[in-house]
Chain A
Amino acid sequence: MAKDVMMTIVLFAASIAYFTFINWWLMDFQGLDYWYMFRSGAELSSGGH
């Protein structure tokens, strides 16, 4: 049981790390800043057209 809980935590953490990494890496690859909002402060924009 404890092992199941541990594996669940590990696998979810791995998934979160993986998706965070691809978010950052793919934005960086395009010359864009993934952490833009956190660096400049949040401000609601239009969401595009």
Chain B
Amino acid sequence: MKRLFEGRMRNKQLLSWLAVGVLVGALLLPLVISIPLLAEEFEDAALEQAAFAEETLGEDVPAQEIGYDVHYGDEGIVQGPPAPVTSDNENDYPRYNFESRVIIWVANQQHLYYGSFVLAVPIFVMIIEFIGMVTKDRAMAQKYDTLAYDFIKISITAYSITAILGGVLVFTFMILYPAFWTYMTKIFHPAMHIYVLLFLAESGTLYIYYYGWDAMREGLLKWVHLSMAVFLNVFGTVLMMLANSWATFMMSPAGVDAEGQYLGNIWLAVHNHLWNPVNIHRILGNMVFGGGIVAAYAAYRFLSAKNDEERAHYDWMGYVAMFIAVAFLIPLPFAGYYLMREVYAYRQQMGITLMGGLLAWLFIIQAVLIGALFLTTNYYLWQGMERMRGAERYQKYIKYMTFVLIVCFLVWLTPHTMVMTPTELKEMGGQQHPVVGNYGVMSAKNGAVNIIITTTVLSFLLYQRCNKIPTVPWARYGNIALWALFSVAFVNIIWLAIYGYYIPANVRVGLSVPQVVSTLSCLFIGMTINLFMMRGAKPTGPVEWGKISVRSQYALFMLATSFTWMMGLMGYIRSSVRLHWHVNEIMRDNSPWAFTHTIGFAANMISFNVLFFWVTLLFVFWLGSLGTKKAVVEKGRAAPVAALAPSTN
């Protein structure tokens, strides 16, 4: 019997290793295939082939038209028709008695919301599942595993909705913008085929990953399960990057000549100027968004919880999701800065339209939202201190941090110029206010946002240590080091902000880099010192999950809604910067809707999209609450949250 059991185990192990091998092999397959193709350089090969054919066959070969890449300047054989010149008629722009752009706006935005969510959640499900697997405490490991399962369960319903919305979007393009859609498919059809195949692969992997959760919960099979999560995320990320290439091609086209004729190298069209900046920004943004949604789900479950166990579980889930969201929110402004820098590098005029022209006021709204996000995050952390005894020591600092955050928030949202009537303009003596106007410039704003982020890091650091008393012999000096680090960083950021007023623009622009590094220094050095200081620290009490104010849960709703609104806003800004072009400088938009809407209309549209998304998401939440796997929480045992929260030991 024993031998039989051992034999079965060996077979199971062998199969598990085999499965891991197949997964890794399949993961590496695209790389293996693409290396020779990339090395070949498509257009060179095509040119050589044409020359060879001409040599061997003489005059019979029809002359091939050569074009020059509109962005990279490379030579290539023309392999597609020029971009269509459309006109305002029913053939080029079929329509209902409604603005087609608004229809496509809603279809696009809804698909993007759900798509972002289902791409982000598997990433942190993978991380949480991994943490659960390497955690030695079995109860904790089980808790992490349940949490990861809870997360993926929410995304599985959302995944189906994403697919449906993708179909709606494609049909909307085909019906309302046929000329544009035909042009795009002529260029991107190979990438679109890959997209469809990847989508099928992702769906298959996701369903096996979800439904195989229990069957693959032990031993090596669990590693196979985790490998599938890696696989799932690779598929998802590549899918997102392919879709990004179409959106960025519309902003900064490449791989075509000045007439929009395709030059045969799909890689150049995909790898256009803004592709990578948007990829980075979207990956981070999706993580923030996904974290926010899951946090809102947890808040919803917390508020509707029937007992303390459930409340404790969902409080913890909300905290972990919020932690993930904020961890990715911190680098997000820097990724946004990189994207804007590349926009300016691509077309200065595009950058000016965004930040200093037609769309500049939308950035003020964005600033308000970012400020609100950070204020809410800090508020949640301060509320979270209620879970721990010993937190009273740090509560006296909250009022100072609130003051700093609000002052910086006000600077951060100060507009450079105001929209005014001629009389108001005359009374103020110009478009810029003589005093407040000084804060509406990048020097002040860079300083303000870095102080906001550094203060958030400080809040988190206090949160981490509020139920512990350090026992390491150098604790006193550790505290002095933290004081020195943070206070000098604050002074340095403010100094650089003031210094910016005394130097010319071309030098000033560089000051943002040391400002960012000052903030990141506090994050990494401060957290490292704190981590070492808290080794073997004396606990002042357990983390009492579930014992948090209801207000904190509304803060989580606020975070999620702000993320959703901001995503809608930034998507609109990114898209509308093309102005009257379908494809920037290549294919003109000649529909009756080729104008930029007023800020009020855009804001209403974004609010409608947010509302629509959240109403449908409530349905997803409701589905998720049916037959929920209950968290295993030992009665009377306070659950420590290793790695992510202050521990009790």
The chain A residues found within 8 Å of chain B, CB to CB, are 4, 7-8, 11-12, 14-16, 18-19, 22-23, 26-27, 29-30, 32-33, 36-37, 42-49
Within 8 A of A (CB), among B221-268: none
Which stretch (B163-171, B180-188, B479-487) binds chain A? B479-487
Chain A residues whose CB sits within 8 angstroms of the CB of B438 once the complex forms: 47
- Assess whether B488 is interfacial by the CB under 8 Å rule: yes
Chain A residues whose CB sits within 8 angstroms of the CB of B481 once the complex forms: 11
A27 touches B477 (CB 8 A): no
- Assess whether B492 is interfacial by the CB under 8 Å rule: yes
A45 touches B480 (CB 8 A): no
Known: A22-B521, A32-B510. A45 touches B503 (CB 8 A): yes
B503 touches A22 (CB 8 A): no
Known: A18-B488, A46-B505, A49-B416. 20 other contacts (CB 8 A): A7-B480, A8-B480, A11-B477, A11-B480, A15-B488, A23-B492, A29-B513, A32-B506, A33-B507, A36-B503, A37-B499, A42-B502, A45-B503, A45-B504, A46-B441, A47-B438, A47-B500, A48-B443, A48-B508, A49-B442
Chain A residues whose CB sits within 8 angstroms of the CB of B513 once the complex forms: 26-27, 29-30
Interface size class of B (residues with CB under 8 A): 35 or more
A30 touches B488 (CB 8 A): no
| 5 residue pairs bridging A and B, Cβ less than 8 Å apart | A15-B488, A19-B514, A26-B510, A47-B508, A48-B500
Known: A8-B480, A11-B480, A48-B443. A19 touches B488 (CB 8 A): yes
A19 touches B356 (CB 8 A): no
The chain B residues found within 8 Å of chain A, CB to CB, are 356, 416, 438, 441-444, 476-477, 480-481, 484-485, 487-489, 492, 496, 499-511, 513-514, 517-518, 521
In the bound complex, what is the Cα–Cα distance between A29 and B511 (angstroms)? Answer: 12
A19 touches B492 (CB 8 A): yes
Q: Nearest-CB distance from A48 to chain B (Å)?
A: 4
Contact of A45 among B487, B488, B502, B514 (CB under 8 A): B502
B484 touches A37 (CB 8 A): no
B488 touches A23 (CB 8 A): no
Which of A15, A22, A43 has the most chain B CB within a 10 Å cutoff? A15
In the bound complex, what is the Cα–Cα distance between A47 and B496 (angstroms)? Answer: 11
Q: Nearest-CB distance from A26 to chain B (Å)?
A: 5
Known: A26-B517, A48-B443. A37 touches B480 (CB 8 A): no
Chain A residues whose CB sits within 8 angstroms of the CB of B499 once the complex forms: 37
Chain A residues whose CB sits within 8 angstroms of the CB of B511 once the complex forms: 27
B484 touches A26 (CB 8 A): no
A18 touches B514 (CB 8 A): no
Instruction: Considering the complex, give the chain A residue whose CB is closest to the CB of B488.
Output: A15
Contact of A22 among B484, B500, B517 (CB under 8 A): B517
A22 touches B518 (CB 8 A): yes
Chain A residues whose CB sits within 8 angstroms of the CB of B509 once the complex forms: 48
B480 touches A47 (CB 8 A): no
Q: Nearest-CB distance from B519 to chain A (Å)?
A: 11
A19 touches B489 (CB 8 A): yes
Q: Nearest-CB distance from A21 to chain B (Å)?
A: 10
Q: Nearest-CB distance from B317 to chain A (Å)?
A: 38
In the bound complex, what is the Cα–Cα distance between A19 and B420 (angstroms)? Answer: 42
Chain B residues whose CB sits within 8 angstroms of the CB of A49 once the complex forms: 356, 416, 441-442
Q: Nearest-CB distance from B436 to chain A (Å)?
A: 13
Chain B residues whose CB sits within 8 angstroms of the CB of A19 once the complex forms: 488-489, 492, 514, 518, 521
Chain A residues whose CB sits within 8 angstroms of the CB of B443 once the complex forms: 47-48
In the bound complex, what is the Cα–Cα distance between A44 and B499 (angstroms)? Answer: 9
Contact of B441 among A16, A30, A32, A47 (CB under 8 A): A47
Chain B residues whose CB sits within 8 angstroms of the CB of A22 once the complex forms: 514, 517-518, 521
In the bound complex, what is the Cα–Cα distance between A48 and B423 (angstroms)? Answer: 27
Q: Nearest-CB distance from A38 to chain B (Å)?
A: 10
Known: A30-B513, A49-B416. A16 touches B505 (CB 8 A): no
B507 touches A32 (CB 8 A): yes
In the bound complex, what is the Cα–Cα distance between A23 and B491 (angstroms)? Answer: 13
Contact of A12 among B476, B484, B503, B505 (CB under 8 A): B484
B518 touches A48 (CB 8 A): no
Q: Nearest-CB distance from B287 to chain A (Å)?
A: 27
In the bound complex, what is the Cα–Cα distance between A16 and B495 (angstroms)? Answer: 12
A18 touches B521 (CB 8 A): yes
